């Protein structure tokens, strides 16, 4: 019995075809893997089977979009089912860039233009302007629900695998004073520059590592250096809270453990030089990170931080700057733990972190924790 009174009834009619135009739609046969390991971009890519659920595709042309560049007909398929297959090398070669231009936040967008007997349909979502003119494509967002596994518009992105520690320090092996207000008394008086040495009791500004294994914290050495016009006396501090402490005045927790390296009011600069850490033989990728907390106060023009990493490669020595922030740039980061990270670097044989923190006699403070030299998990 037929009840479609307004449209009549005929067994040969397809009511849905009468009232709607069947466009082009391509679909991944299975949930696709579109996020790739950044450390393996030279060898990996996309290989996914796609199908034509409407059985009406004459031509499937995939365009590649990246920043201001568009590569048309990056992939063309004329029969289904089919396997869509390309590498990251194929992508960068088509765009005229290199693998070194691909970073963790890089995304490559792919849009299909599908030809059917009814016309050509763009996989982009419609985008109507104020005059109700479509500036986009033909594919409703409903077609892009996760369960439909659409192959009409999708992104290829990148991820980094979890890191594994080569060497680290959170200053947990360093002895601390029983009272948080104990200050470090500068050796040798108020000289303008010079190496700082540990006193008989904490707080300590130097630490000798007990070994070079993964479980042995990295050693470090501290120096004072003069900074022109940063202090009214020009001589630097004589006794301040500088060195390894366990302080919970500005934050509730350290990123790792219960200790960290603290600096306040040095009337100049404090340079912390960490031991050289060797990367295991044969490891092609590695990196270094550390975290810092800047006191939530008013930072002035000469107040701030510079941190850099001395690295060695087979080709020679290099210096990588991790952060160079002063005045308002530090103030914008103040009041929270901030991480500075090289990311995974290629073919580095050793790392040495150097942190330089400087401020005048006002209430600026620095805390450092969780220094890690890392490699990808196996």
Spell out the residues 6+ positions from residue 105 whose beta carbon is closer than 8 angstroms to its own. none
Q: Region 99-110: what's the mean pLDDT?
A: 93
Residue 1 has a pLDDT of: 33
Q: What are phi and psi of 185, to 5 degrees?
A: -95, 125
For 311-367, the pLDDT digits (tens) are 999 899 999 999 999 999 999 999 999 999 998 998 999 999 999 999 986 788 999
Residue 125 has a pLDDT of: 78
For 242-301, the pLDDT digits (tens) are 999 999 999 999 999 999 999 999 989 999 999 999 999 999 999 999 999 999 988 888
The answer, yes or no, to whether residue 157 has pLDDT greater than 80, is yes
Please state the domain extents for the chain: 18-159, 164-376
Residue 9 has a pLDDT of: 42
The answer, yes or no, to whether residue 109 has pLDDT greater than 50, is yes
The answer, yes or no, to whether residue 4 has pLDDT greater than 60, is no
Determine what percent of the chain is predicted with pLDDT higher than 90.
68
Rg, C-alpha atoms of the chain: 30
Residue 234 has a pLDDT of: 61
Residue 298 has a pLDDT of: 84
DSSP strand pairing (239-240 vs 260-264): unpaired
Q: Region 113-123: what's the mean pLDDT?
A: 91
The answer, yes or no, to whether residue 140 has pLDDT greater than 90, is no
Residue 360 has a pLDDT of: 84
Question: For residues 94 and 234, which has the higher predicted lDDT (pLDDT)?
Answer: 94
Residue 2 has a pLDDT of: 37
The answer, yes or no, to whether residue 203 has pLDDT greater than 60, is yes
Min mean pLDDT across 90-99, 104-113, 132-141, 214-223 is at 132-141
- Here the tokens at position 153 are 């518009």
CATH number for the 164-376 domain, one of 3.50.50.60, 2.60.120.260, 3.30.2130.30, 3.30.450.20? 2.60.120.260
The domain defined by 18-159 folds into: Immunoglobulin-like (2.60.40)
End-to-end Cα separation, the chain, in angstroms: 66
For 25-37, the pLDDT digits (tens) are 999 999 999 999 9
**Cα(172)–Cα(244) distance, rounded to whole angstroms?**
9
**Cα(84)–Cα(75) distance, rounded to whole angstroms?**
8
Of these ranges, 126-135, 178-187, 210-219, the one predicted with the greatest mean pLDDT is: 210-219
Q: Region 67-96: what's the mean pLDDT?
A: 97
Residue 188 has a pLDDT of: 62
Question: Which ranges of the chain would DSSP assign to H, the alpha helix?
Answer: 15-19, 88-95, 328-331
Q: Region 54-73: what's the mean pLDDT?
A: 96
Mean pLDDT of the chain: 89
């Amino acid at each position: 019995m037929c009840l479609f009174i307004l449209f009549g009834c005929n067994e040969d009619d397809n009511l849905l075809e009468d009232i709607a135009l069947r466009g082009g739609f391509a679909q991944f046969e299975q949930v696709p893997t579109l996020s790739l390991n950044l450390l393996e971009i030279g060898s990996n890519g996309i290989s996914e089977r796609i199908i034509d659920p409407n059985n009406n595709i004459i031509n499937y042309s995939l365009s590649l979009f990246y920043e201001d560049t568009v590569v048309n007909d990056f992939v063309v398929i004329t029969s289904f089912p089919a396997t869509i297959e390309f590498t990251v090398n194929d992508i960068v070669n088509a765009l005229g860039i290199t693998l070194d231009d691909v970073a963790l936040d890089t995304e490559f967008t792919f849009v299909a233009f599908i030809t059917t007997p009814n016309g050509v349909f763009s996989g982009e979502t419609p985008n109507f302007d104020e005059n109700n003119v479509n500036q986009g494509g033909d594919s409703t967002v409903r077609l892009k629900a996760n369960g439909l596994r659409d192959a009409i518009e999708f992104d290829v992105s990148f991820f980094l695998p979890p890191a594994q520690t080569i060497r680290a320090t959170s200053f947990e092996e360093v002895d601390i004073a029983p009272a948080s207000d104990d200050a470090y008394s500068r050796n040798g008086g108020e000289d303008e520059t010079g190496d700082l040495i540990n006193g008989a009791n904490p707080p300590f500004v130097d630490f000798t590592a007990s070994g070079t294994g993964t479980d042995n914290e990295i050693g470090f050495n501290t120096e004072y250096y003069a900074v022109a016009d940063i202090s009214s006396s020009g001589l630097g501090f004589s006794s301040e809270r500088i060195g390894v402490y366990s302080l919970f005045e500005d934050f509730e927790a350290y990123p790792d453990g219960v200790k960290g390296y603290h600096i306040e009011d040095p009337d100049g600069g404090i340079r912390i030089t960490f031991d050289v850490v060797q990367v295991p033989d044969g490891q092609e990728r590695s990196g270094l990170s550390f975290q810092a907390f800047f006191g939530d106060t008013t930072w002035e023009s000469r107040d701030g931080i510079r941190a850099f990493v001395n690295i060695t490669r087979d080709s020679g020595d290099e210096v990588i700057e991790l952060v160079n922030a002063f005045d308002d740039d530090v103030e914008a980061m103040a009041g929270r733990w901030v991480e500075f990270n090289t990311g995974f670097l290629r073919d580095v044989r050793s790392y040495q972190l150097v942190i330089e923190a400087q401020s005048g006699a006002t209430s600026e403070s620095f805390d450092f924790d969780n220094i890690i030299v890392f490699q990808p998990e196996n």
